[in-house]
Amino acid sequence: RTVYVNGEYLPESEASISIFDRGFLFADAVYEVTSVLDGKLIDFEGHAVRLKRSLDELDIVQPCSMDELLEIHRKLVELNGIDEGLVYLQVTRGSDGDRDFVFPAADTKPSLVLFTQNKPGLADSPAAQKGAKIISIDDIRWGRRDIKTVQLLYPSMGKMMAKKAGCDDAWLVEDGYVTEGTSNNAYFVKNGKIVTRPLSNDILHGITRKAVLRMAAEAQMEIEERLFTIDEAKEADEAFTTSASAFVMPVVEIDGVALGDGTPGPIAKRLREIYLDESRKAAI
């Protein structure tokens, strides 16, 4: 695999980052994951705009222009022959060669790393045909979940708790209300109406969420953005999650309670189809 590190395209075995890099020492870094279908990038602009926002919120220097970012994405997809898969991008605050809680000087060069993940069959995923089983767990993450930082230890632990319980993923619950999934936004459907939590600092502003809600509205589906409890979701007709890496993923079980007939629901299936179809057409 060829990867990109700070201006260079290298074999992954030759790529390196300083041990003093603040991404490594402090998780002082942000990231984006963009999916690739038919060798093209899905919603690149959405991810680039959110990246800029994450960087601005943390006063991390933008490592390069949006055009350069697009070029790097495209070149890696081409060099690695990716037809279906993901491009992972990370920007860290870099380092001035030592460990210090205080940020280094504002002109410190950020680190920029990108790599691809080849995922043949991403669109026709068997997991999406089966649907996901979810457990609910406490949301104990920090209060700026709208910034896409690499502080992913708790979401990663949540995924492990789900696996241990024989499930696929976890939904996070704070003050009695569902925030989001470990790495996706959460929705349920009751009597034809799609319900999802409104945007705030409590959740990541999903690029897929925005696209799917737009497409749902265009398809005349009813949408309500409001807080909801895990019990409401358990009593739903169906549920699903959205993310750049899994698109629209039907949810078939929450905390051991089957939703509907326990198979992916019609609205989730239809939204997945619409999303894949429209995204492929708009891919660059």
Give me the catalytic one of 52, 109, 133, 148. 148
Residue 244 near ligand PLP by CB under 6 A: yes
Q: Are 181 and 169 in contact (CB under 8 A)?
A: yes
133 to 152, contacts with ligand PLP by CB under 6 A?
A: none
How far is CA 43 from each of CA 48, 75, 89, rounded to the nearest angstrom? 9, 17, 14
Residue 132, interface with ligand PLP (CB under 6 A)?
no
Burial of 80 (0-12, 13-18, 19+ CB in 10 A): middle
**Among 1, 243, 247, which residue's Cα sits nearest to residue 117?**
1
Residue 37 binds ligand PLP, judged by CB under 6 A: no
The greatest distance separating any two alpha carbons of the chain, rounded to the nearest whole angstrom, comes to 58
Among 90, 92, 149, 183, interactor with ligand PLP by CB under 6 A:
183
Hunting for tokens 């074999």 — which residue is that? Answer: 11
Task: Using the minimum distance from each CB to ligand PLP, give the nearer residue, 137 or 207.
Answer: 207
Residue 111, phi then psi, degrees to nearest 5: -95, 140
The residue among 206 and 265 lying less far from ligand PLP, judged by its C-beta, is 206
Coil, strand or helix: which one is 55? helix
Q: Which of 41, 89, 91, 204 binds ligand PLP (CB under 6 A)?
A: 204
**Of 79-87, 176-184, 187-195, 258-266, which part binds ligand PLP (CB under 6 A)?**
176-184
Smaller CB distance to ligand PLP: residue 10 or 58? Answer: 58
Piece of the chain touching ligand PLP by CB under 6 A; list 54-62, 75-83, 201-209, 257-265: 201-209
Q: Which residues pair with 92 in a beta bridge?
A: 29, 111
Nearest distance from residue 205's CB to ligand PLP, in Å?
A: 8
Q: How far is the CB of 155 from ligand PLP (least distance, A)?
A: 6
> What does R_g of the chain's alpha carbons equal in angstroms?
19
Residue with the two structure tokens 């300083």: 18
- For ligand PLP, which is the closer residue by CB, 94 or 162? 162
- Joined together, the tokens standing for residue 136 give 């609910």
**If we measure between CA atoms, which residue out of 87, 130, 124 comes closest to residue 244?**
87
User: How many CA atoms does the CB half-sphere of 23 hold within 13 Å?
Assistant: 21
Least Å distance between CB 21 and ligand PLP? 22
Among 73, 93, 209, 272, binds ligand PLP (CB under 6 A): 209
Asked about 190 being catalytic, the answer comes back as no
**Strand duo 8-11 + 29-37: pairing:** unpaired
CB nearer to ligand PLP: give 110 or 206. Answer: 206
Near ligand PLP by CB under 6 A: residue from 54, 196, 242, 279: 242
The set of catalytic residues is: 148
Q: Using CB under 6 A, list all residues that contact ligand PLP.
A: 33, 180, 183-185, 204, 206-209, 242-244
